[in-house]
């Protein structure tokens, strides 16, 4: 969803005592190229390592420009150099804005980009507490079909509109209109109306009421039959297993070990036997 240009920051002192000079804004506007280095939208200047919420990317900065704006300081108007930006925002950014969360932009400046000696926009955060003065509050609303508008609540700052292309015509609607046109043309040439397609009979206005008692009785019978069948199957399996175990027990008792030999009778020690001591 592409926006129109709106105010990102003004030159001069920031609310936390830092300074943005005119040259920085002009250099960022003239040098910015997404193909060289694309600045993305983040939350509170935090870049997540995954694509999951809440620290995923919320869109891209497409282009920058400079102009002038007026800022009101306690009743006195001050003209300032202003940086304007065009965004391509995601649906997540729209949802945050609908909840009145992270409604201000906060730019990220590299004063000496790649050692080239000029300032460059590295990113832009969606925040609730920007340092730059005169930033516009993002307020998305579907005022017109296919349009999202962006307004400014900062005193003395002109509102910018965040508008998107109108949706493409619905192909199905166009096909319906063409089909209707040819149907009327056929009727005019033939002198008779085209045959109507048969309509499906309408459902009864008052379907039968749900009978809880009948449903409970049928369910009880079904469960009783299922449990009885399962009990019979379990008993048959247990009886078969018991019979096999009994037979196996009898076979073990009756079977003789072919490797077994009876010990010869002991006749006592003889003179030929030596005693072994360990």
Radius of gyration of the CA atoms of the chain, in A: 43
Pairing of strands 147-149, 12-13: unpaired
* Cross-strand bridge partners of residue 83: 9, 66
Measured distance CA(25)–CA(11) in Å, rounded: 7
Q: Is 16 a catalytic residue?
A: yes
Q: How far is CA 263 from the centre of its chain?
A: 83
- Other C-beta atoms closer than 10 Å to the C-beta of 108 total 14
* Cross-strand bridge partners of residue 63: 86
**Among the options 16, 52, 170, 272, which is catalytic?**
16
Nearest to 20 by CA among 115, 125, 28, 155: 28
**Among the options 21, 30, 45, 218, which is catalytic?**
45
Provide the annotated active-site residues.
Answer: 16, 45, 106
């Amino acid at each position: 969803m592409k926006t129109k240009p709106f105010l990102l920051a003004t030159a001069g002192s920031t609310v936390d005592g830092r300074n943005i000079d005119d040259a920085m804004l002009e250099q960022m506007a003239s040098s910015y190229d997404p193909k060289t280095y694309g600045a993305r939208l983040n939350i509170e200047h935090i870049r997540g390592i995954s694509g999951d919420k809440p620290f995923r990317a919320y869109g891209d900065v497409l282009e920058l420009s400079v102009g002038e704006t007026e800022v009101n300081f306690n009743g006195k108007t001050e003209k300032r150099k202003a940086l304007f930006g065009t965004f391509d925002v995601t649906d997540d950014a729209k949802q945050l804005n609908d909840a009145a969360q992270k409604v201000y932009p906060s730019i990220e400046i590299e004063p000496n980009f790649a050692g080239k000696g000029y300032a460059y926009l590295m990113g832009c955060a969606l925040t609730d507490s920007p340092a730059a003065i005169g930033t516009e509050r993002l307020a998305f609303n579907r005022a017109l079909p296919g349009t999202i508008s962006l307004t400014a609540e900062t005193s003395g700052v002109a509102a910018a509109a965040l508008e998107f292309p109108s949706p493409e015509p619905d192909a199905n609607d166009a096909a319906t209109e063409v089909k209707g046109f040819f149907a009327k043309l056929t009727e005019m040439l033939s002198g008779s109306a085209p045959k109507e397609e048969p309509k499906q009979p309408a459902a009864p206005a008052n379907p039968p009421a749900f009978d809880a008692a009948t449903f409970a009785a049928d369910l009880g019978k079904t469960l009783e039959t299922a449990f009885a069948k399962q009990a019979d199957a379990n008993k048959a399996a247990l009886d078969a297993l018991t019979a096999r175990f009994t037979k196996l027990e009898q076979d073990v008792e009756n079977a003789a070990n072919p490797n077994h030999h009876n010990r010869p009778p002991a006749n006592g020690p003889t003179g030929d036997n030596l005693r072994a001591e360990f």
